[in-house]
Amino acid sequence: MLTMLLLLAAEPVDCPPVGSVMRDRMKIAGEICRDDPRPRKPAAPFKARPITASEKAEIMREADKLLFDGPSARWQWGERKSAHLYCGMVNAKNRLGAYVGWRPFYFFQGKFKIVPEGEEDIVYEGICSNAGYIEQPDWLKPKA
Protein backbone atom coordinates (compact mmCIF):
# COMPACT_ATOMS: atom_id res chain seq x y z
CA MET A 1 0.00 0.00 0.00
CA LEU A 2 2.79 2.45 0.92
CA THR A 3 4.62 1.65 -2.32
CA MET A 4 1.49 2.49 -4.30
CA LEU A 5 1.17 5.87 -2.56
CA LEU A 6 4.79 6.71 -3.28
CA LEU A 7 4.32 5.85 -6.95
CA LEU A 8 1.22 8.03 -7.18
CA ALA A 9 3.04 10.97 -5.61
CA ALA A 10 5.79 10.82 -8.24
CA GLU A 11 3.35 10.62 -11.18
CA PRO A 12 4.35 13.09 -13.92
CA VAL A 13 1.83 15.83 -14.70
CA ASP A 14 0.97 17.89 -17.78
CA CYS A 15 2.85 21.18 -17.59
CA PRO A 16 2.63 24.55 -19.35
CA PRO A 17 4.98 25.17 -22.30
CA VAL A 18 8.74 25.16 -21.78
CA GLY A 19 10.02 28.66 -20.99
CA SER A 20 6.80 29.95 -19.42
CA VAL A 21 6.70 31.52 -15.96
CA MET A 22 4.16 28.95 -14.75
CA ARG A 23 6.33 26.03 -15.88
CA ASP A 24 9.32 27.52 -14.05
CA ARG A 25 7.15 27.90 -10.96
CA MET A 26 6.08 24.24 -11.15
CA LYS A 27 9.67 23.04 -11.63
CA ILE A 28 10.88 25.00 -8.59
CA ALA A 29 8.04 23.45 -6.58
CA GLY A 30 9.40 20.03 -7.54
CA GLU A 31 6.78 18.93 -10.07
CA ILE A 32 7.79 16.36 -12.69
CA CYS A 33 6.41 17.09 -16.16
CA ARG A 34 5.45 14.37 -18.63
CA ASP A 35 7.63 15.91 -21.31
CA ASP A 36 10.77 16.12 -19.12
CA PRO A 37 13.67 14.14 -20.56
CA ARG A 38 14.37 12.51 -17.18
CA PRO A 39 12.94 12.63 -13.67
CA ARG A 40 14.81 14.80 -11.18
CA LYS A 41 16.21 13.81 -7.82
CA PRO A 42 15.23 15.98 -4.85
CA ALA A 43 17.73 18.78 -4.33
CA ALA A 44 19.86 18.98 -1.21
CA PRO A 45 19.18 21.98 1.03
CA PHE A 46 20.97 25.11 -0.20
CA LYS A 47 22.64 27.49 2.25
CA ALA A 48 22.33 31.19 1.37
CA ARG A 49 25.59 32.82 0.35
CA PRO A 50 26.81 35.91 -1.50
CA ILE A 51 26.58 35.68 -5.28
CA THR A 52 30.01 35.18 -6.85
CA ALA A 53 31.59 37.32 -9.56
CA SER A 54 31.42 34.43 -12.04
CA GLU A 55 27.68 33.96 -11.35
CA LYS A 56 27.09 37.67 -11.90
CA ALA A 57 29.04 37.49 -15.16
CA GLU A 58 26.95 34.53 -16.34
CA ILE A 59 23.70 36.37 -15.56
CA MET A 60 24.89 39.55 -17.28
CA ARG A 61 26.07 37.57 -20.34
CA GLU A 62 22.60 36.02 -20.72
CA ALA A 63 20.94 39.40 -20.06
CA ASP A 64 22.96 40.98 -22.89
CA LYS A 65 21.06 38.72 -25.30
CA LEU A 66 17.72 40.27 -24.26
CA LEU A 67 18.49 43.84 -23.24
CA PHE A 68 18.83 46.62 -25.80
CA ASP A 69 21.94 48.08 -24.11
CA GLY A 70 23.08 45.35 -21.74
CA PRO A 71 26.43 46.86 -20.69
CA SER A 72 24.69 49.99 -19.33
CA ALA A 73 22.27 47.99 -17.13
CA ARG A 74 22.29 48.66 -13.39
CA TRP A 75 21.93 45.70 -11.06
CA GLN A 76 20.78 45.09 -7.50
CA TRP A 77 22.51 41.94 -6.27
CA GLY A 78 21.57 40.05 -3.13
CA GLU A 79 22.39 36.69 -1.62
CA ARG A 80 22.10 33.52 -3.64
CA LYS A 81 19.42 31.45 -1.89
CA SER A 82 18.87 28.63 -4.37
CA ALA A 83 21.15 26.37 -6.39
CA HIS A 84 19.20 26.79 -9.65
CA LEU A 85 17.39 30.12 -9.24
CA TYR A 86 18.52 33.68 -8.68
CA CYS A 87 16.09 36.61 -8.24
CA GLY A 88 17.13 40.24 -8.42
CA MET A 89 16.41 43.65 -9.90
CA VAL A 90 17.71 45.31 -13.08
CA ASN A 91 17.33 48.82 -14.48
CA ALA A 92 18.10 48.87 -18.21
CA LYS A 93 17.92 51.41 -21.02
CA ASN A 94 15.28 51.40 -23.74
CA ARG A 95 15.87 52.24 -27.41
CA LEU A 96 15.67 55.98 -26.65
CA GLY A 97 18.55 55.69 -24.17
CA ALA A 98 16.45 56.28 -21.05
CA TYR A 99 16.40 53.98 -18.05
CA VAL A 100 13.00 52.27 -17.75
CA GLY A 101 13.03 51.77 -13.97
CA TRP A 102 13.83 48.83 -11.74
CA ARG A 103 12.32 45.57 -12.99
CA PRO A 104 12.48 42.17 -11.28
CA PHE A 105 14.30 39.39 -13.08
CA TYR A 106 15.03 35.78 -12.45
CA PHE A 107 17.78 33.50 -13.70
CA PHE A 108 16.70 29.87 -13.79
CA GLN A 109 18.66 26.97 -15.28
CA GLY A 110 20.84 29.26 -17.39
CA LYS A 111 17.98 31.41 -18.72
CA PHE A 112 17.57 35.12 -17.91
CA LYS A 113 14.03 36.50 -17.83
CA ILE A 114 12.75 39.94 -16.99
CA VAL A 115 9.37 39.66 -15.33
CA PRO A 116 6.64 41.09 -17.60
CA GLU A 117 4.73 44.02 -16.19
CA GLY A 118 1.66 42.79 -14.36
CA GLU A 119 3.20 39.39 -13.48
CA GLU A 120 5.35 40.60 -10.58
CA ASP A 121 3.04 39.06 -8.01
CA ILE A 122 3.30 35.62 -9.66
CA VAL A 123 7.07 35.72 -9.56
CA TYR A 124 7.60 37.19 -6.09
CA GLU A 125 4.82 35.26 -4.37
CA GLY A 126 5.49 32.09 -6.33
CA ILE A 127 8.87 31.48 -7.86
CA CYS A 128 11.16 33.74 -5.79
CA SER A 129 9.55 33.52 -2.35
CA ASN A 130 9.25 29.72 -2.59
CA ALA A 131 13.01 29.61 -3.14
CA GLY A 132 13.69 31.76 -0.06
CA TYR A 133 14.02 35.17 -1.67
CA ILE A 134 12.39 38.30 -0.31
CA GLU A 135 8.69 38.91 -0.44
CA GLN A 136 7.38 41.18 -3.17
CA PRO A 137 8.84 44.67 -2.64
CA ASP A 138 6.37 47.31 -1.44
CA TRP A 139 6.75 49.38 -4.60
CA LEU A 140 5.59 46.42 -6.72
CA LYS A 141 2.50 45.70 -4.62
CA PRO A 142 -0.82 46.91 -6.06
CA LYS A 143 -2.02 50.16 -4.57
CA ALA A 144 -5.17 49.81 -2.46
Most confident of 34-43, 58-67, 82-91, 108-117: 58-67
From the number of C-beta atoms within 10 Å of its C-beta (0-12, 13-18, 19+), residue 28 rates as buried
For 81-86, what is the mean pLDDT?
A: 86
User: What does the pLDDT read at residue 43?
Assistant: 57
Provide the pLDDT confidence category of residue 138 given band limits of 50, 70 and 90.
Answer: low
Contact (Cβ atoms closer than 8 angstroms) between residue 113 and residue 98: no
| Residues contacting 42, CB < 8 A, separation 6+ | 30
For 116-132, what is the mean pLDDT?
A: 76
Percent of the chain with pLDDT over 90: 26
Closest CA to 62 of 22, 112, 96, 100: 112
pTM of the model: 0.63
User: What does the pLDDT read at residue 112?
Assistant: 92
Q: Is the pLDDT of residue 131 over 50?
A: yes
Q: Is the pLDDT of residue 9 over 50?
A: no
